[in-house]
Each structure stands twice: as structure tokens, then as C-alpha cells.
A and B are shown apart, each in its own frame.
Chain A
Amino acid sequence: MKKVLEVKDLNVFFDTYKAEVQAVRGVSFDLHEKETLAIVGESGSGKSVTSQSIMKLIPMPPGKFAGGSIKFNGEELIDKSERQMEDIRGKEISMIFQDPMTSLNPTMTVGKQIAESLIKHQNMSKAQARKRGLELLELVGIPNPEARIDQYPHEYSGGMRQRGMIAIALACNPKVLIADEPTTALDVTIQAQILDLMRDLQDKVNTSIILITHDLGVVANAAHRVAVMYGGKIIETGTVDEIFYNPTHPYTWGLLGSMPDLEGDSDEELQAIPGTPPDLADPPKGCPFAARCPYAMKVCENHMPDYFELSDTQKSACWLLDERSPKVEPPESAKVGGSKRDEQ
């Protein structure tokens, strides 16, 4: 499959007045056509910074690229000027944000907010943009678009606002859609609807999706591949099956262990991972997870491991995979019975 997006060794730092925060440290991943890649990880692991870097929406200063490359359809984005990026944002790469309550402009009708990018990128007249806006609202499942198009965001419910956001993001049929926790702020039932909608639209408009979440339930439901981030690094990546059935990194085990079993038929306890994430202003020399890892060895504290390639698609950065390490079995809590995959 064709690669739409290639991120290589991306480093994004922030100059704060106290120290340099190394939010993203050497992140690499590819995104293929029509694929959904999930990026999962705890709060502060650098998911949003990574995704916003792709659109160059990180405020600079204080942010800065400290090396790496972001190629979209083979073209380097890091070298592009702000002017050139404007032609890519919203047209080739779009983004939807976590909180639909705050990500729409409260003083502008939803119709106008959709029309803006159509007028900008597709040279539509106002009338044409309105017509297309109605189609888009219909497409994202907003009932009665004729009335809704002239309403303000506060007249929409939360789920409808997120649908509106999706309509805005998909207005110009972007190649890549970045969804930064698109369902976190919504009720469970609405969450499922929004995920269904995204999957549906992915087929219709042939978009690749980067889905950021810390909810593995969402991942199982919606993604093809998964990248697990921790402390500004991707520590394990693989297909959904690989990550769920053959996880190799203790942090991935921890994440799986902390995932609720929605069928609720087991008494197994939810295992929160003890400890706190590393301070990215002073990142540890070795593996960022070492301090919290029950299997940590001496080497982990001082040396970041390279990726061990477990298959064509699965890679993991953990010393346990080195042949010199003791053999460790994943804990019971990280074992995923059929139930966790198929729920919802």
C-alpha cells in the first residue's frame, strides 16, 4: 500500500522559561492509504504534539523542530512555508479535536464554519459552499440540515457538534484526517456512533486516519495499526491483533491491564500502572518507562534499546526482547480474551 505520510525521527521541543521540554523524541511512523493508525499512550506522552506537528500547528516559539522529517506524499512538510502550509491544512490534512464543545467558534453559524474551507480551498462561491455544506451535514448524519446549517454551535448537542466538526474536517476530502481524542468528551453511546461514522466516511472519501486516544476499547474498534507512545517515544507498534494478542512491551502490558473488560464477567482487578510519567524537561537517559517497569534491569536505566523487529509490522523497544535477557511472560491481566476485541 502507498504511504501517504512518513514521519522519521521527529523531535519537537518546547523552550519554557525553566527548561527545554522534550515533548517528542525521535518518533517515526508511516501512514498508509485508507488506513487507521491509532496512537495510544498516557496523558503527556506527546500524542497531541506529534499530531499537531504534522500540520505545523505547534506555536513556534516556544515550540521548535529539533530534527526529523515529515513527508506528505513524498514532500517534506518541515521545509514548507506558512503560506504553503495553509494550502495543505484543511485540504490535504485535516484535524478534529477532543472537545466538540470548545472547538467550534461560538459566534459563527455551523454552515459558515463549513463553508470557509470550501471557499478557501475549492474556490466555491458562497451559494455553492452552502449547497455542499448541506450535503456534508447530511453525510455526517445531522437531521434536518436545512435548519441546522444556519444554527450556532450552542444549538447543537455534543454529539452533533462533533459531527459538525467532522463535516468541517472532511469538507475538502482530505488525504489524512487527524482525530485527537475525538470521542473522549462524549457519552459512550455517542462515542460508538462517532466511531462508526468515521469508519463509514473513511470508506466513502478514502481518507487515512490518525486516531489519537488513550482508550484501547476505541482502538480495538476503529484502528488497523497501533503505535504506543510513552515519554515522547513510540515504544511499541504493530497491527491491532499483534498489540492485543502478542504485546511485548511491559508498558503495553500495563495499558492492556488497565483496560476495563466491558463484558464485566471477570473479577479481575483493573490494574492502574503505578508511578508517574517521566519529566520531559529532564528525560531519563535510558528507557523512559524503566522507573515504573516491574521488569526493569540495569541496562534499561542507562540505554534506550533499539527496536526489535518481531514481524514485518510489529516493532518493540524493550531490552526484554534481547536474547541475553531473562524470559518474561506477560502478566495475566494483559491477556486479552476474545471478549475485549469484539465488544461494543
Chain B
Amino acid sequence: MGRYLIQRFGSMVVSLFFIVTITFILMQLAPGGPFASEKKIPPEIEQQMNEKYGLNDPLHIQYFNYLKDVAQWDFGPSFKYTGQSVNDIINRSFEYSLLLGLESIFLALSIGVFLGVIAALRHNTSVDYTAMVIAVLGISVPNFILAAALQYFFAMKLGVLPVARFDSFLHTILPAVALATTPMAFIARLMRSSMLDVLNSDYIKTAKAKGLNERVVTYRHALRNAIMPVVSYLGPLVVAILTGSFVIEEIFDIPGLGAEFVNSVTNRDYTVIMGTTVFFSALLLVSILLVDLLYTLIDPRIKFGKEGGKS
């Protein structure tokens, strides 16, 4: 296992290297500069700023400096918020995003799995149809529309939940629901079809033929096998939650990393754009690694690094 982890870690470093390089190149290709704005800055001042931030150095020097800094987990100073480093911004805003993300992942997984399982157990009944209608709606309604609808009903009409910001647990509910709904619906459908497959499989018949009751058959034998596709979906789930958070954090005015990223793009805050991109990528790579490790725990057929054993 140790060797496997080292291998995986190595390939993560390589991936990150390419991501940093590509972001760097893309940023260079984008027209305009960090100090371009509606207000004309006097050229001498712009020159001075460029000097200060090292933007007058030859490109490859800039690139190597940036690589060196990133290797030390230092993303440099922000161009827009004077006196703040990109690391400060990430550290400050990430806890909001993390909380929102975890809450959404929890919601998506628990409700999605639950809906999928009962839909499969009550296959072709009204319970099944209801769950699947919810799922289809959840998949087809974009999260920003759902967010607005939730704000309208629960905050403005009913007044039971705060409309925006992120100060207490109550504040987290609406954005988490808005963010979780699409993946939740996806998981529900995934879980239902995989559960139906498993319930029709021979080993479930074997389990029933042993005299085990339906509850034991469902929970001990079916669930663990049926959950595999959902575990493989955890990687894409993290991606969905991350990208969804850009929009949702804006809508709910949450000072999280997603909102920060969106702002940095509109501000052309180069270092923040690059820093958050690299940070998101690292986060994603780590989550995928965790998912793979989890998979090997749940499915004994998957060994570290290779699929299937001897059979």
C-alpha cells in the first residue's frame, strides 16, 4: 500500500505541474493586464506596479519564479487587495466553502441514496414514481434557478430562513440545498438502477434462500454492493459541488472561495485566479485519491492500483 500511495502522490505532483503551467500560459494569452481598468492609471504608475510585481521580467523567469513559489505553497500577493497574499484569501474564505461543500455532499449522498433505495425496494409503485419525478426535476432545474426559488419561498414569502450570508447554521440550509439538489438527484437515479440490478442478482436469491429476512438481505447483502457506482461518482460529485459553489456563493453572498474566484476573474486579479485554480485542482486530486482508497475498502475485488484479483 505504501508504494501505491507514493506512486499516486507522484502522479498528483505531475498533474499539478501541468495544471500550473497551463494556467500560467492561459493567463499570459488573455488580453489586458492586471491593472487595466476603466480608470486610466498614469503610465508611470503602471510601470512601477509592473516592476514591483515582477511583471517586467522575461516570461520564463516569471514562470520559474511562480513554479518555485507554488512548490512552497506560496501563491504570491494579490494584485487587487493590497497587503493581502493569495494564501490569506484562500485561508480566510476556504472554511466557508468547505462547510458549505461538506454539508451539500452530506445532503446529496444521504438523501440521494435513501431515495434510490426506497425507489428500488418499492419498484413500480407510486413511491418509486414520486422519487424519480423528484430526481428528474432535480437534474433538470439549474441550481441558480433553484437557489432563487428557494430564496423567494423560504426567505421572502415564509420568512423562515435567512435569505443570504453565512452567519449561522440556519444560513447554510438554503445554499446547501440549492447546491446539493442536482447531484442528489443524480445519485438517486444511480442508486435506484444499481439497487435494482443487485436485487435481481443471484446472490440476493442465495441470501433469501438461506432464510434471511428482507431487511437483512437489503442492508447486509444488497446495499454494500449497490453503493459501488455511487462511490465512483464521488469524484465527479466533488467537482459538481466545487463548480456549483461559484454560482451559489455569489447568489447567497457567501464570502467563500468560489465567490472569491469569480471576483478574481472579474477583477483580473491574476495571482488569485491562478492560486485558486491550483488550489481547486489540488483539492480535486486529493478527493479523487480518497475516493479510490474508499473504493478499495468497500470492494474486496479491487486491490491497490489494479482492478480485480486472481479469479
Listed in ascending order, the chain A residues whose CB lies under 8 Å from chain B are 55, 57, 82-83, 85-91, 94-95, 97, 99, 102-108, 113, 116-117, 120-121, 152, 154-155, 157, 165, 168-169
Mark out the residues of chain B between 196 and 223 whose CB falls within 8 Å of any chain A CB in the assembled complex.
201-203, 205-214, 220-221
User: How many angstroms between the C-alpha atoms of A152 and B299 in the bound complex?
Assistant: 10
Pick the residue among B211, B220, B298 that contacts A91 (CB under 8 A): B211
Given A90-B211, A116-B210, A120-B210, check contact A105 B310 (CB 8 Å): no
Given A116-B212, A117-B210, A117-B211, check contact A103 B203 (CB 8 Å): yes
B152 to chain A, nearest CB (A): 42
B202 to chain A, nearest CB (A): 4
Taking CB atoms, residues of chain A closer than 8 Å to B298 are 107
Given A97-B206, A105-B203, check contact A152 B300 (CB 8 Å): yes
Chain B: CB-nearest residue to A98 = B202
User: How many angstroms between the C-alpha atoms of A116 and B219 in the bound complex?
Assistant: 14
Assess whether A55 is in contact with B209, with CB atoms less than 8 Å apart: yes
Given A152-B300, A154-B301, A155-B310, check contact A105 B211 (CB 8 Å): no
Q: Top 6 nearest A-B pairs by Cβ distance?
A: A90-B211, A89-B211, A90-B210, A103-B202, A102-B202, A117-B210
17 inter-chain pairs at a CB distance below 8 angstroms, sorted by A residue, are A83-B213, A90-B210, A90-B211, A95-B205, A97-B202, A97-B206, A102-B202, A103-B202, A105-B207, A106-B225, A121-B211, A152-B309, A154-B301, A155-B309, A155-B310, A157-B311, A169-B209
Is B68 an interface position by the 8 A CB rule? no
Taking CB atoms, residues of chain B closer than 8 Å to A99 are 202
Pick the residue among A102, A154, A165 that contacts B201 (CB under 8 A): A102
Taking CB atoms, residues of chain B closer than 8 Å to A168 are 206, 210
Taking CB atoms, residues of chain B closer than 8 Å to A87 are 211
Assess whether B211 is in contact with A107, with CB atoms less than 8 Å apart: no
User: How many angstroms between the C-alpha atoms of A108 and B207 in the bound complex?
Assistant: 11
Is B308 an interface position by the 8 A CB rule? yes
A207 to chain B, nearest CB (A): 15
Assess whether A154 is in contact with B300, with CB atoms less than 8 Å apart: yes
Assess whether A103 is in contact with B211, with CB atoms less than 8 Å apart: no
User: How many angstroms between the C-alpha atoms of A157 and B310 in the bound complex?
Assistant: 9
User: How many angstroms between the C-alpha atoms of A121 and B213 in the bound complex?
Assistant: 12
Is B122 an interface position by the 8 A CB rule? no
How many A-B contacts if CB must be within 8 Å?
A: 85
B253 to chain A, nearest CB (A): 45
User: How many angstroms between the C-alpha atoms of A122 and B61 in the bound complex?
Assistant: 76
Assess whether A107 is in contact with B224, with CB atoms less than 8 Å apart: yes
A109 to chain B, nearest CB (A): 8
Assess whether A154 is in contact with B202, with CB atoms less than 8 Å apart: no
Assess whether A104 is in contact with B203, with CB atoms less than 8 Å apart: yes
Assess whether B209 is in contact with A90, with CB atoms less than 8 Å apart: yes
Assess whether A86 is in contact with B211, with CB atoms less than 8 Å apart: yes
A303 to chain B, nearest CB (A): 38
Given A105-B221, A152-B300, check contact A57 B209 (CB 8 Å): yes
Taking CB atoms, residues of chain B closer than 8 Å to A154 are 300-301, 308-311
Taking CB atoms, residues of chain B closer than 8 Å to A57 are 205, 208-209
Mark out the residues of chain B between 31 and 88 whose CB falls within 8 Å of any chain A CB in the assembled complex.
none
User: How many angstroms between the C-alpha atoms of A99 and B203 in the bound complex?
Assistant: 10
Chain B: CB-nearest residue to A151 = B300
Chain B: CB-nearest residue to A86 = B211
User: How many angstroms between the C-alpha atoms of A88 and B210 in the bound complex?
Assistant: 9
B217 to chain A, nearest CB (A): 10
User: How many angstroms between the C-alpha atoms of A120 and B209 in the bound complex?
Assistant: 12
Taking CB atoms, residues of chain B closer than 8 Å to A83 are 213
Assess whether B300 is in contact with A107, with CB atoms less than 8 Å apart: yes
Assess whether B210 is in contact with A97, with CB atoms less than 8 Å apart: no
Taking CB atoms, residues of chain B closer than 8 Å to A165 are 206
A148 to chain B, nearest CB (A): 14
User: How many angstroms between the C-alpha atoms of A97 and B201 in the bound complex?
Assistant: 11
Taking CB atoms, residues of chain A closer than 8 Å to B212 are 86, 90, 116-117, 120
B208 to chain A, nearest CB (A): 6
User: How many angstroms between the C-alpha atoms of A169 and B209 in the bound complex?
Assistant: 9
User: How many angstroms between the C-alpha atoms of A44 and B28 in the bound complex?
Assistant: 69
Given A105-B225, A154-B311, A155-B309, check contact A94 B301 (CB 8 Å): no
A113 to chain B, nearest CB (A): 8
User: How many angstroms between the C-alpha atoms of A91 and B300 in the bound complex?
Assistant: 29
Chain B: CB-nearest residue to A158 = B311
Binary contact readout B125-158 vs A (1 if CB under 8 angstroms, 0 otherwise)? 0000000000000000000000000000000000
Assess whether A152 is in contact with B301, with CB atoms less than 8 Å apart: yes
Chain A: CB-nearest residue to B308 = A154
Chain B: CB-nearest residue to A104 = B203
Chain B: CB-nearest residue to A118 = B210
Chain B: CB-nearest residue to A161 = B311
Chain A: CB-nearest residue to B209 = A95
A133 to chain B, nearest CB (A): 13
Output the residue of A82, A97, A106 with the most chain B CB within 10 A. Answer: A106
Taking CB atoms, residues of chain B closer than 8 Å to A91 are 211
A120 to chain B, nearest CB (A): 6
Pick the residue among A82, A104, A152 that contacts B206 (CB under 8 A): A104
A112 to chain B, nearest CB (A): 9
User: How many angstroms between the C-alpha atoms of A83 and B215 in the bound complex?
Assistant: 12
User: How many angstroms between the C-alpha atoms of A82 and B210 in the bound complex?
Assistant: 13
Taking CB atoms, residues of chain B closer than 8 Å to A94 are 209-210
Taking CB atoms, residues of chain B closer than 8 Å to A55 are 209
Chain A: CB-nearest residue to B299 = A107
Assess whether A120 is in contact with B211, with CB atoms less than 8 Å apart: yes
Given A105-B221, A152-B300, A154-B300, check contact A89 B206 (CB 8 Å): no
User: How many angstroms between the C-alpha atoms of A104 and B206 in the bound complex?
Assistant: 7
User: How many angstroms between the C-alpha atoms of A106 and B300 in the bound complex?
Assistant: 8
Extra inter-chain contacts (12) besides given A104-B203, A107-B298, CB under 8 Å: A86-B211, A86-B212, A88-B211, A91-B211, A99-B202, A103-B205, A105-B206, A107-B225, A116-B207, A116-B210, A152-B301, A154-B310
